Structure 1
């Protein structure tokens, strides 16, 4: 189970590591050249991706830049200027503040808020410090926002938070049902494995999703059900299967409890196909056809993600899915089972060490027996004996003043939490806010009293666990930037200063991993699913060379890829539990004229863009926050494609670019989750969604169904700015910034008079402009700032008419100097004979819409394969293939901008 982690030749090194993005957990080989330049490729030997990478993974080297990094510990505060301090002073200040707060107000007056971006070793130390030594369970994670409902569903049905199968089941299933999962964009490499199975053995795909996402391109059936009615659909299927004799009577009799109760609830909730169709907003024929296909197919995998989890009834919907597999015995066998795909690279690893407030380490809970067991293993002086505050309640407690000190690690809750306005108010009044992060200036970091520089991907060392329970090593191949340190090291040092030195003697990540592994096997005996006790004695060299493996890996046995093949589950009696589920109505009232706001990920961006936002090619596909809306809804509200819209909810307002598309169902809108105050003036999704709708079992907020009104926002002027350094315009109104080669592009629009130049370029002397042009007739302005022959910035403003294309101008920022031709075309915005790439469609190879259209027309390209041969587009991760097909369909009608 070990392999060489590092290869060296010709003055360069190659290091095997793991991608830091989604839960697929792709293996990456990072090559460091003799001059320090880094390139990445997929690891063909890794079981998750077999050499493939998506657009984000392929662009990892683009993000390894010093821009924006937090390089040194800082102390200050929102009201005061930050000052650089030594690590000793910073760590001492954290320890003093937390110790003083605990002494005055008790252990529940402090909290940690952590992240699936942490490595398992980091997570373990945080959990141990808070729950075993501070004595509170007030540690929760941003996985609460994406995976908590799956945890509850798994534990109620399976007896443990354990995904039953492996990625190989996608490839040997005859039917894969994607539920609330945009696999093509959110888990592209896993989607490619599914598409390969479809091509090679005819695997059928059913998509259950209100939106027509890119998954539709390969789906054999799309069930565009009404948002929030998944449980109705699956309850109906459960009742239908049983009524037509599709129960596996032998399996249920031997291995399942609660069958009749679950069936009675399903029959009462969804008694027939007609009822299901009416409640789900579908035709009876399509419901009946899906039910018949499910029944007729022996090998079925049901894949679900945030469309299920991020709901006020997410836990029940998970159990409704599990019920189907229990009733029919489709679990524990190749090509069968429910499959939760995680959003973050280490959401699973965090759950293994108790990262959630209602868990203890090694998948244990808060029974007296489990509290005692963990306490004995840790020799903990004050074990937490009850669950702590879940994320929403945690920030409410900070606002109320009952939690007076919070340490936030590797996450950005001022953006990502629902009711982000409340989160910001809470952090603003909190006595102590500590933020550990790679990035100096985040929305959350601006509230910090103490900033601690953490190592980032490429610098840190540890393990992560992906969606199919595969544990992989993340290895460092670069030195830490500035004085950045590993998160586990930072917490260990604070723990020692708080008086817990004996229990926190770790000097390496391997030492933490050994303890974590040993605890998983401690007093286990097969009773708990999570067990990697076989690695409890792993030495440092073995840890360095550790190859990917799947848990459980019990002492004296081999790693186990598929669970429950013997029909035994991790409940007290070894039997699975079917849960009686009743679908619930939308908890929020939908006023007349309102639309349901849905949020989620884009193909080429990640979370709050602190990493992907540094890459010009990843920022080019969706350069601005974009509101997807159905043509009928747009027409009814006077919205036009490419215009701007104001979105308003009970929680707040936002401005976004309009994208009219029939991929969006009527009555609903979609807005991506990624933009922050660093990248836009007014489109933080967390400010639009309140925190009032929460799953009662999991504490997971409903982020998919917020009532919203939408209206046109018609600015008096539009503009764009290109600058070498990042700029946050101060003019108000609308703006959105993205990376381009050599700098940044900011799109802007506003009401009233065109502001003074200083509002757009704070700190830049407008008198230093080398060239300037005023268009009196159109009320326009064009300016450029030069440093010798090098372009530093340029600004284009128009009160009427169109602005020039951005592509050629953006390319000038990357040039060391401008020649005479470039100078002559600068203020015109276009160089003679230079074609504009247009919006990027294929991020892997930076192929734009205009180049595609011209190639299709001029070379007579008629298929995606021919496009790939000519331009490479679509030949890497394949995420852009559905869009390439759309471009082909409309190539001869589309007007090329």
Structure 2
């Protein structure tokens, strides 16, 4: 049965609810979708109460995922050089161009750049094609940008990329230390599980190690506002403290580890707690308190994420953490271990199949000739790669240098997410052939493509993903995608066939790919070969029915129970056996290194990048959902109030942030939680949603020498005020053409039935800009214009109605502007009332209160509404706020902010 027909059969057989997995972060939450024709999406979405990652909880992004279904903005057909093409022509063109370039320049002249949002089956065939049949290892993944340092840290210590922990440990730990992770926003369900565990066990301690005070700190018993880049020194100091106070598990270290003496000698360079506190810019008493809690807490869990990984010494930081767990034997046991939490839904799956350029497949790599031979024999590979390929930064450098002539970019947006992003864009513009397969038509990366291939996306295709604690779950098809869209695995296989590799890529359904993936993991994976951590031996013959109903299961999956159900392994290293040649773990002696970029008189600020609560990666999915655009509507720069005052910046004004690589123009947020001398800018915004907000333009392409992961957390920049002559906003049912936005600062926000643009200008005339906008609109006999002009005060208002329905509203002023929410509500009226016409022209509210910044996206509850309820109703807890306003009672993503609001109100009342 053909793959397309088979997929259709599966979907039409669905009669009730479907279990699937969230398409966002690496927590890997289970979802339950039930058909509901009364919903705009056609589906009710809720958390799967049986899934071990979330037990029914969902964050606001996950809870809104059904609202992203639909074909608006989708890439609907293949394109070659901007012209629509049929699939046969497009596939022949891709294969022909790749073959021609390989024939002329060799296999190293082509590359794939893939994504942690691909399904494991897609990842597997992409890796197989490039490494086994094209004969190059030039395939790398955007996961290089988020977890490559953790991978190398695990491999150095354990001999394998083995995450030793389970989410179950969150409830069992006595002390949880979160390092470089704003878990409340980046991994909300992990945060909620910790919060619930702490409530159930008040003796549990939570410590946050982070240069800035984030929403996660609201849960913390202690916040260590560490100097950026000093994490390795901090954990060296902890290891020395353990030694001084007799907490080393001497027996475990002697029987199961190597290299302890050397690691301890290096760590003793940070043994003086006073000197360490000064080095890390911490209070001695805070540092000592954390050390004591670590000493007293055998069930010690350390969760770390991008603040550790995105560094030029990220691998060493990872190993400094692991050293402390090995030294105390706090690994392979309930409630403890070094736990790297990944950023993408299938970053782990990509690691399993060899999606990184320095891996083979099934946790084998190029350092072993035996492994190269094993994979080649299993694949019956015609042209097996024998050495590492180019990691992400090196790959795009090779494109810029003309060494790579063709690249296929799958399901990712490197023009936004790669460091030195403008150089990456130019490299792709100059590249001979750029193929992009994506579900969306308009991204910063599709704009530079020669060939576009429309991909199916979440909800439209079947396959597996693996979350941060090694649990394999299924993403299941429950809707049909656009008629011309195809699964990524299908595209890859069809190109492989046209390149002459057909016999190795004759898959009809992803279950066949999964079986082969499982079989490779088990191939010679025993005493007769080399015992490897990743093993799916129990799934090599999985049936189609079992595949489609496969329950969440952590690998290794080697055995089955009496009923034939595969048994997973939630926790590794319980037996003290690791995956090195002598089965012993390795301590790594760590000499801490400062970030490569240091503040200087020209660029005195350290720029940190990261996520905001309601957005995901480069916004191609989340920005489609109006309620996810309300919490943080515009790109911003967070700065300490004293730094802002010294630089002449005003809260809510604009700032120019710049260095040698480029500049940003961003809304200023003065935050006392920000370190002096530090700035924070979110990573999400791009050319589709703002004029000057792609933060990776300012991040130098400096990487960890072992992992190749960029130092995205530590750029150096300057900041100054951006003075505009006027400001305004536009609400329009249709997106504005780019010509209307030239020469302006602008950001775009998706609203209910409209697109909203915030605009400011330095030089462009407000009057001429508005006249240009009006003249370009297609009016007719049913068009009615409302217009107000006050040249003296610099106030301009414009509204366009057709058949009485509001189509466009423009407000410009040198000073105050109307409340946007009320103007947006006018777009819901089929015929705008006379009263609201008058209010629009007058630029005044229709008596509605300004609800303030949205805090609870689920129910649209604003800050001013919350503050008023706290004051008038004497609310003293988040539970009482929930009862009064519903805020925090659905997904729970806003609970940290509600806690912070209560605390600030309490302190104001006390003052």
TM-score range, shorter chain: over 0.9
Query: Partner of 1:865 in structure 2?
Result: 879
Over 3 Å counting, the alpha-carbon distance change for 1:220 and 1:890 in structure 2 is: closer
Query: Partner of 1:68 in structure 2?
Result: 73
Runs of 5+ consecutive residues of structure 2 not aligned to the other structure: 1-8, 562-566
Structure 2 residue 718 is matched with structure 1 residue 709: yes
Query: Partner of 2:853 in structure 1?
Result: 839
Query: Partner of 2:134 in structure 1?
Result: 134
Of 801, 808, 811 in structure 2, the residue corresponding to residue 786 of structure 1 is 801
Query: Partner of 1:746 in structure 2?
Result: 757
Q: Give 1:84 deviation, angstroms.
A: 1.1
Q: Give 1:725 deviation, angstroms.
A: 1.9
Q: Distance in 2 between matches of 1:503 and 1:154?
A: 32
Q: Distance in 1 between matches of 2:130 and 2:172?
A: 43
Structure 2 residue 559 is matched with structure 1 residue 549: no
Of 47, 51, 61 in structure 1, the residue corresponding to residue 52 of structure 2 is 47
Q: Give 1:7 deviation, angstroms.
A: 13
Q: Give 1:890 deviation, angstroms.
A: 5.3
Matches within 5 A, 1:49-128: 49-76=54-81, 82-128=82-128
Kindly tell me the number of residue pairs found equivalent between the two proteins. 882
Matches within 5 A, 1:376-525: 376-525=377-526
Structure 2 residue 868 is matched with structure 1 residue 854: yes
Structure 2 residue 777 is matched with structure 1 residue 764: yes
RMSD: 2.0
Matches within 5 A, 1:446-845: 446-525=447-526, 527-555=531-559, 558-592=567-601, 594-691=604-701, 693-727=702-736, 728=738, 729-752=740-763, 753-754=765-766, 755-757=768-770, 764-765=777-778, 770-798=785-813, 800-845=814-859
Give deviations 1:794-829, integer Å, cap 9, x for gaps.
Answer: 11111x220111001112223333222222322234
Give deviations 1:609-661, integer Å, cap 9, x for gaps.
Answer: 00000111100010000111111211111111111100012211000000001
Q: Distance in 2 between matches of 1:640 and 1:12?
A: 56
Give deviations 1:486-532, integer Å, cap 9, x for gaps.
Answer: 00001011111111110000010111111111111011017111111
Q: Distance in 1 between matches of 2:319 and 2:344?
A: 22
Greater shift in the superposed pair: 853-862 or 241-250:
853-862
Say which SS state the counterpart of residue 301 (structure 1) adopts: strand
Over 3 Å counting, the alpha-carbon distance change for 1:471 and 1:429 in structure 2 is: same
Say which SS state the counterpart of residue 842 (structure 2) adopts: coil
Say which SS state the counterpart of residue 376 (structure 2) adopts: helix
Q: Distance in 1 between matches of 2:11 and 2:431?
A: 49
1:188–1:877 Cα contact (<8 Å) kept? no
Over 3 Å counting, the alpha-carbon distance change for 1:476 and 1:278 in structure 2 is: same
Q: Distance in 2 between matches of 1:764 and 1:689?
A: 40
Q: Give 1:759 deviation, angstroms.
A: 6.0
Runs of 5+ consecutive residues of structure 1 not aligned to the other structure: 1-5, 77-81
Q: Distance in 2 between matches of 1:168 and 1:669?
A: 35
Q: Distance in 2 between matches of 1:325 and 1:714?
A: 52
Over 3 Å counting, the alpha-carbon distance change for 1:208 and 1:890 in structure 2 is: closer
Greater shift in the superposed pair: 165-174 or 591-600:
591-600
Query: Partner of 1:23 in structure 2?
Result: 26
Say which SS state the counterpart of residue 741 (structure 2) adopts: coil
1:182–1:213 Cα contact (<8 Å) kept? yes
1:23–1:341 Cα contact (<8 Å) kept? yes
Q: Distance in 1 between matches of 2:537 and 2:690?
A: 47
2:156–2:586 Cα contact (<8 Å) kept? yes
Matches within 5 A, 1:208-357: 208-268=209-269, 270-357=270-357
Q: Give 1:368 deviation, angstroms.
A: 0.9
Over 3 Å counting, the alpha-carbon distance change for 1:582 and 1:485 in structure 2 is: same
1:643–1:658 Cα contact (<8 Å) kept? yes
Say which SS state the counterpart of residue 577 (structure 2) adopts: coil
2:37–2:43 Cα contact (<8 Å) kept? no
Give deviations 1:123-176, integer Å, cap 9, x for gaps.
Answer: 001000000000000000000000000000000001111110100001100000
Q: Distance in 1 between matches of 2:306 and 2:627?
A: 26
Greater shift in the superposed pair: 163-172 or 550-559:
550-559
Query: Partner of 1:3 in structure 2?
Result: none
Give deviations 1:678-731, integer Å, cap 9, x for gaps.
Answer: 00000101111110x210000000001111101111100001000112234423
Q: Give 1:482 deviation, angstroms.
A: 3.3
2:129–2:496 Cα contact (<8 Å) kept? yes
Q: Distance in 1 between matches of 2:532 and 2:705?
A: 25
Over 3 Å counting, the alpha-carbon distance change for 1:598 and 1:769 in structure 2 is: farther
1:520–1:532 Cα contact (<8 Å) kept? yes
Give deviations 1:834-859, integer Å, cap 9, x for gaps.
Answer: 33333210112221123223333343
2:799–2:806 Cα contact (<8 Å) kept? yes
Over 3 Å counting, the alpha-carbon distance change for 1:665 and 1:657 in structure 2 is: same
2:27–2:467 Cα contact (<8 Å) kept? yes
Q: Distance in 2 between matches of 1:817 and 1:265?
A: 74
Give deviations 1:233-265, integer Å, cap 9, x for gaps.
Answer: 111111121122111000000001000010111
Greater shift in the superposed pair: 739-748 or 26-35:
26-35
Say which SS state the counterpart of residue 385 (structure 1) adopts: coil
Say which SS state the counterpart of residue 171 (structure 2) adopts: helix
Over 3 Å counting, the alpha-carbon distance change for 1:827 and 1:890 in structure 2 is: farther
Q: Distance in 2 between matches of 1:760 and 1:131?
A: 53
2:800–2:809 Cα contact (<8 Å) kept? yes
Give deviations 1:316-363, integer Å, cap 9, x for gaps.
Answer: 000000000000000000001000000000000000000000001101
Over 3 Å counting, the alpha-carbon distance change for 1:758 and 1:384 in structure 2 is: farther
Query: Partner of 1:204 in structure 2?
Result: 205
Q: Give 1:37 deviation, angstroms.
A: 1.4
TM-score by length of 2: 0.94
Q: Distance in 1 between matches of 2:257 and 2:508?
A: 47
Greater shift in the superposed pair: 340-349 or 725-734:
725-734
Q: Distance in 1 between matches of 2:14 and 2:609?
A: 46
Q: Distance in 1 between matches of 2:842 and 2:624?
A: 28
1:192–1:877 Cα contact (<8 Å) kept? no
1:12–1:33 Cα contact (<8 Å) kept? no
Q: Distance in 2 between matches of 1:815 and 1:403?
A: 54
Q: Give 1:758 deviation, angstroms.
A: 6.7
Structure 2 residue 46 is matched with structure 1 residue 32: no
Greater shift in the superposed pair: 259-268 or 869-878:
869-878
2:818–2:845 Cα contact (<8 Å) kept? no
Say which SS state the counterpart of residue 441 (structure 2) adopts: coil
Q: Distance in 2 between matches of 1:758 and 1:420?
A: 35
TM-score by length of 1: 0.96
Over 3 Å counting, the alpha-carbon distance change for 1:147 and 1:757 in structure 2 is: same
Q: Distance in 2 between matches of 1:408 and 1:572?
A: 37
